[in-house]
Structure 1
Amino acid sequence: MIYGTCITALKSLSFRALVLPNSLNFQVKLSSKCSPRRIRMEAGNLSCSIEGNKKESRGALIVLEGLDRSGKSSQCSRLVSYLEGEGLSAELWRFPDRTTNVGQMISAYLTNASQLDDHTIHLLFSANRWEKRSLMETKLKSGTTLIVDRYSYSGVAFSSAKGLDIDWCKSPENGLLAPDLVAYLDISPDKAAERGGYGDERYEKLEFQQKVAEHYKVLHDASWKIVDACQPIEDVEKQLQEIALACVKQCQQGKPLSSLWST
Structure 2
Amino acid sequence: MATEQEERGALIVFEGLDRSGKSTQAKRLVEKIINSGRMAVLQAFPDRQSPVGEMIDRYLRGEIDMDEHALHLLFSADRFLKKKMIKQHIAQGVDVVCDRYCYSGVSYSLAKGLPEEWVRVTDQGLPKPDIVLFFQVSPEVAAARGGFGNERLETAELQAKVGKIMPTLRDDAFWKSVNADGTPDAVEKEVFQLYKELDRSQPLEVLEKI
Amino acid at match of 1:83: I
- For the aligned residue pairs, the C-alpha RMSD in angstroms reads 1.4
1:261 positional shift? 2.8
Moved over 3 A (4+): none
Match of 2:45 among 95, 100, 116: 95
| Count of aligned positions | 205
The within-5 A match list for 1:30-109 is 57-109=7-59
Question: Identity of aligned pairs, percent?
Answer: 44
1:168 positional shift? 1.0
Hey, what's the Cα distance between the residues in 1 that align with 2:101 and 2:209?
16
* Structure 2 partner of 1:129: 79
For structure 1, which runs of at least 5 residues remain unmatched after alignment? 1-36, 38-55
Hey, what's the Cα distance between the residues in 1 that align with 2:130 and 2:116?
22
Q: Relative CO higher for 1 or 2, CA cutoff 8 Å, sep ≥ 6?
A: 2
The answer to whether 1:189 aligns with 2:139 is yes
The answer to whether 1:261 aligns with 2:208 is yes
* TM-score with structure 1 setting the length: 0.76
After superposition, what is the alpha-carbon deviation per residue over 1:69-103, rounded to whole angstroms, capped at 9, x for unaligned?
Answer: 00011101110111111101111110000111101
The answer to whether 1:145 aligns with 2:92 is no
* TM-score with structure 2 setting the length: 0.95
1:262 positional shift? 4.5
In structure 2, do the counterparts of structure 1 residues 195 and 262 end up closer, same or farther at CA, with 3 Å as the change threshold? closer
The answer to whether 1:161 aligns with 2:111 is yes
Match of 2:69 among 96, 114, 119: 119
Decide which structure has greater strand share: 1
- Does the Cα contact within 8 Å between 2:121 and 2:209 map onto a contact in 1? no
Decide which structure has greater helix share: 2
- Does the Cα contact within 8 Å between 2:103 and 2:166 map onto a contact in 1? yes
